[in-house]
Amino acid sequence: MSGDLRKASKAALDLFRWAERIVITTHVQPDGDGIGSEVALAHWLRDQGKIVDILNPHSAPRRFRFLEIDIPAPGFEPASAERLLGAADLLAVLDISVPARLGPLETHARAYGGEIVVIDHHLGPTGFRGVDVRDTSAAATGELLHTLLVEWGAEVTPPMAAALYAAIAYDTGGFRYSNTTARTHRAAAALIDAGAEVHEINQRVFESVSPTRARLLSRVFGEFHLEEDGRLAWIALSSDLMEEAGAEAEDVEGVVEALRSLEHVEMAILFKEIDKGATKVSFRSAGEVDVSRLAGRFGGGGHKNAAGAFLKRPLAIVVEDVLAAARESFAVERVG
């Protein structure tokens, strides 16, 4: 652990020890890393006698709800947000450092006057004030949180181990992505020793495909676009298409990875219409293609091979602008 990270870790621990009422949150359309990290942290804090609530922009996808048996992670409701944040001493923001990615919670978070701790593994400056615990070498926020808990002398209980293992497994694609390191495997091994049931977790996270999602994938593979001699794949999912397929937000999970898995594809982009004035963009790449830079041009961020952005602009305009930038990146590569 570097000196800066150790200093931030101590500052975060001091705040967690001080606070009595804590609210934990993560990004819009929370994923396995966000949910798993939240649940693990909430378990530990409750074991310390703290009053803890999870307050997210959206509810957890079906495949991650097994982690919520004891600690629910409900979606946004204005009155609840005002009540919980109004009473909280501390707001813990996990797996995100850009306030805009809190969606409907952004205004409430910006207005919050208490202490804030950010725990994240993504590149880019934080948009939150307060303590920023950042480690971009961690494969997942769950991996970073496990490191912090060990540093803090915490006992990792079986429910915490399950949540952290799910977080790490999700963000590494079952330990297949290039962000997986020896450190990642050591953390996973420690979590198995602490009680994580690997088979059950992997089955729920990776082997549970709803019929609706299967239908949506069939549409994706029937309508995706290929450019740049097959090196760039993309698809735009409008709210109308989602409604026609009977799909929910969680059914989109894995779509951009599926596009990236196509032969010869080096960059995959998924555009998803959140509403008529907002669009979520997911980027995936292979090898030396750095999509975090591309995402950064649109206010987003992430990692070299996996990044995202949330734009408060209509789908058609976002598709046009992002694809222009993606094509430009391929053109620069050709010239270089």
Please tell me whether residues 163 and 302 are part of one structural domain.
Answer: no
Please tell me whether residues 145 and 289 are part of one structural domain.
Answer: no
The one-letter code for the residue type at 329 is: S
Q: Examine the pLDDT at 335 and tell me if it is beyond 60.
A: no
Q: Is the dihedral of CA 87, 92, 280, 76 positive or negative?
A: negative
Q: How many percent of the chain have pLDDT more than 70?
A: 99
Please tell me whether residues 135 and 252 are part of one structural domain.
Answer: no
pLDDT in tens, 159-194: 999 999 999 999 998 998 888 999 999 999 999 999
Instruction: Please identify, among 166, 189, 206, the residue that sits at the C-terminal boundary of a domain.
Output: 206
Instruction: Please identify, among 206, 225, 240, the residue that sits at the C-terminal boundary of a domain.
Output: 206
Please tell me whether residues 54 and 152 are part of one structural domain.
Answer: yes
**Cβ partners under 8 Å of residue 283, min gap 6:** 256, 267, 268, 269, 291, 294, 295, 302, 306, 307, 308, 309
Query: Residues 72-85: what's their mean pLDDT?
Result: 91
Q: How many percent of the chain have pLDDT more than 90?
A: 63
Whole-number mean pLDDT of the chain?
Answer: 91
Which residue, among 155, 50, 33, 48, has the nearest Cα to 94 in the 3D structure?
33
Please tell me whether residues 117 and 132 are part of one structural domain.
Answer: yes
Please tell me whether residues 192 and 68 are part of one structural domain.
Answer: yes
Q: Examine the pLDDT at 71 and tell me if it is beyond 60.
A: yes
Q: Examine the pLDDT at 334 and tell me if it is beyond 80.
A: no
CATH code for the domain of 78:
3.90.1640.10
Please tell me whether residues 270 and 129 are part of one structural domain.
Answer: no
Q: pLDDT band for position 251 (50/70/90)?
A: confident
Q: Examine the pLDDT at 151 and tell me if it is beyond 60.
A: yes
Please tell me whether residues 46 and 171 are part of one structural domain.
Answer: yes
How far is residue 105's CA from residue 171's CA, in Å, rounded to a whole number?
Answer: 23
Q: Which residue has the higher pLDDT, 211 or 336?
A: 211
Cβ pair 55, 25 in contact under 8 A: yes
Please tell me whether residues 200 and 240 are part of one structural domain.
Answer: no
Tell me the range of 140-149, 171-180, 222-231 where mean pLDDT is highest.
140-149
Q: What is the pLDDT of residue 84?
A: 96
Q: Examine the pLDDT at 271 and tell me if it is beyond 70.
A: yes
Domain that holds residue 258: 211-335
CA-angle at 101, arms to 56 and 180, nearest 5°: 90
Instruction: Please identify, among 186, 206, 226, the residue that sits at the C-terminal boundary of a domain.
Output: 206
**Cβ partners under 8 Å of residue 334, min gap 6:** none
Please tell me whether residues 138 and 52 are part of one structural domain.
Answer: yes
Q: pLDDT band for position 63 (50/70/90)?
A: confident
Residue 299 DSSP code: T
pLDDT in tens, 34-54: 999 999 999 999 999 999 999
Tally of domains in the chain: 2
Q: What is the pLDDT of residue 333?
A: 64
Please tell me whether residues 75 and 136 are part of one structural domain.
Answer: yes
Please tell me whether residues 198 and 217 are part of one structural domain.
Answer: no
